[in-house]
Amino acid sequence: MNTAACASSVSRSETGASTTSRYTSVARVMRRPPSCPELSLVLDGGQRTSPKLLCKAPDRRICLRHARSPRIRHLPAGRCRMLQTFAHLSDLHLGAGPAAAHAARRLCSALLAVRVQRVMVTGDVTHRGLRSELDLFRSAFAPLFDQGRMLVVPGNHDRLGDDVAESLMSGTRVQAEEHGGLFVVRFDSTGPHNRRLFDSHGQMEEDDMDAICSALDRAPSGALRLLLLHHHLLPLPDDHLFERVITQLGWPNAAELSRGHEMVDRLQSRCDLVLHGHRHQPAEIEAGSLRVFNGGCSTGLQACRVFAAVHGELVHAPRWLDVRPRSFADAPALFAVQ
């Protein structure tokens, strides 16, 4: 795991970004997710059962524990009934090659196996914005679509070619919906300029920010409040040398949203989590009361984060679901019972 500071002291030479952040927290940028087993749900006493049956054991306590951590948080069985699990995928780039499609299918199989209730996908699901690539996305995740578990926002690559953004998120640029204990606001951060390959930066206007805040203000008490968008709000390191060069030349392609810092300020106390993509290395930023997660390129990483929440609070740090072929067959499922 590599780390890169995302603070006011960060220079262009360190991150490749021309804009600095006034948030003094650290953006943890990961080349690869941890390969260790992630999360297990067990009953006190070690009795084996399935995640589906956990809610039928009112006289027992549920333990949430990291497979390599001594820290255990106990949840009463009544609260387990309210457990909400969701995964974050991004930048699938289906159509870029057969490896991406294979990884997408493995991710879908793993998410079904661990019974994740919602899957948040933050854009660039296609590589060239082609209708055939959109069909590949729907085919790879068909079981999750059929069960109504998918929530998607478009990315800049989805505006290329046939421009499938409307098929991914039709209607207004800001949409809100409640799913159990989750209140999810989706924001389409793309713009007409994204029809051009090398104009990949996002767009967020004052009206967009007002609409996002207005939607979040309608969140019911006790819900975990999420904002999904494709482009990043705060500076992150460039993915490769070419991006660093064009950033130093003043092109905005790899830059954060121009009003991202202002948006983060307005999200304080309104929002709990921001999930985004665009940058292909996963990262995590704590900005005041807000936690910001970059999903990275899920098909390239062959992994994704999985979150669990109860009554509007995360019950643990997000865990990585790793589907790399060499480890997926041997690793216990994310919610496997010990």
What is the dihedral sign for C-alpha 263, 229, 321, 279? negative
CB 128 within 8 A of CB 121: no
Q: The dihedral of CA 45, 51, 53, 57: what is its sign? A: positive
Contact criterion met (CB below 8 Å) for 149 and 107 = no
Q: Is residue 240 part of a domain?
A: yes
The answer as to whether 73 is a domain residue is no
**Rounded distance between C-alpha atoms, residue 226 and residue 291, angstroms:** 10
Domain count, the chain: 1
Residue 43 has pLDDT above 90, yes or no: no
Distance CA 295, CA 305 (A): 7
pLDDT digit string, tens, across residues 218-253: 999 999 999 999 999 999 887 778 777 777 777 777
Residue 280 inside a domain? The answer is yes
pLDDT band at 12 (very low <50, low <70, confident <90, very high): very low
Cα separation of 158 and 123, whole Å? 7
Residue 180 has a CB neighbour count (10 Å cut-off) of: 14
On average, the pLDDT of the chain sits at 79
Q: Tell me: the pLDDT tens digits for 67-80?
A: 333 333 445 555 55
C-alpha 195/C-alpha 212 separation (Å) is 24
Q: Is 83 helix (H, G, I), strand (E, B) or coil?
A: coil
User: Tokens 């309104």 sit at which residue?
Assistant: 270
Kindly report which listed range (2-11, 147-156, 158-167, 255-264) carries the lowest average pLDDT score: 2-11
Question: pLDDT category, 28, cuts 50, 70, 90?
Answer: low
Residue 125, in any domain of the structure:
yes
Q: Give the C-alpha separation, 53 to 30, whole Å.
A: 35
Query: Are 105 and 94 spatial neighbours (Cβ–Cβ below 8 Å)?
Result: no
CA distances to 10, 27, 57, 149, 254 from 237, in Å: 10, 9, 47, 32, 9
Let me know: does 270 contact 216? Beta carbons within 8 Å.
yes
Q: Residue 264 belongs to what domain range?
A: 4-36+83-323
Has this prediction a pTM greater than 0.75?
A: yes
Identify residue 119 by its one-letter amino acid code.
V
DSSP string, 115-182: T-SEEEEES--BSS--HHHHHHHHHHTHHHHHTT-EEEE--GGGGSTT--HHHHS-S-SEEEEEETTE
Reported as a pLDDT band with limits 50, 70 and 90, residue 30 is low
Residue 311 lies in a domain: yes
Q: If you write DSSP's letter for every residue of 181-202 in order, what string do you get?
A: TEEEEEE----GGGGSTT----
Say if 71 falls within a structural domain.
Answer: no
Here the CATH number for the domain that contains residue 187 is 3.60.21.10
Decide if 338 is inside a domain. no
Q: Is residue 43 part of a domain?
A: no
Q: How far is CA 228 from CA 47, 154, 184, 231, 248, in A?
A: 38, 10, 7, 9, 28
Residue 67 confidence (pLDDT): 33
